[in-house]
C-alpha cells in the first residue's frame, strides 16, 4: 500500500449492496431476477393445482430479501 485510502460509495453487507448510488441498480436487478423466476416457475408448475401454485409462488418467486433498505423516494 502506498498510504492512500480508497473510499467506496457502495458496500456489500449480507448480500445487499448499500450506498448512495446503488438503489436503482439493485431494484432493476431484482426485478429482472423476479421475471426469470416467474418464467421458470410457470414452466415447472403449469399443471399444478392453483393452491399448490399459490404456495409455491410465494416460496420460489417472492424472495425480496433486503428490500427494506430500498429508498423509493430518491428514484
**Span 34-59, mean pLDDT?**
90
For residue 41, CA distances in Å to 11, 12, 66, 69 come to 32, 29, 22, 26
Q: What is the pLDDT of residue 49?
A: 92
Does the pTM surpass 0.85? The reply is: no
Helices (H), 19-69: 23-45, 50-61
- Residues 52 and 30: their CA atoms lie apart, in Å, by 24
**Cα–Cα dist 39/36, whole Å:** 5
Q: Is the pLDDT of residue 30 over 70?
A: yes
CA distance 33 to 11: 21
Amino acid at each position: 500500500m502506498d498510504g492512500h485510502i480508497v473510499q467506496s460509495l457502495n458496500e456489500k453487507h449480507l448480500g445487499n449492496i448499500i450506498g448512495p448510488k446503488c438503489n436503482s441498480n439493485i431494484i432493476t436487478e431484482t426485478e429482472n431476477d423476479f421475471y426469470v423466476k416467474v418464467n421458470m416457475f410457470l414452466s415447472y408448475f403449469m399443471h399444478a393445482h392453483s393452491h399448490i401454485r399459490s404456495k409455491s409462488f410465494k416460496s420460489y418467486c417472492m424472495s425480496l430479501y433486503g428490500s427494506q433498505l430500498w429508498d423509493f423516494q430518491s428514484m
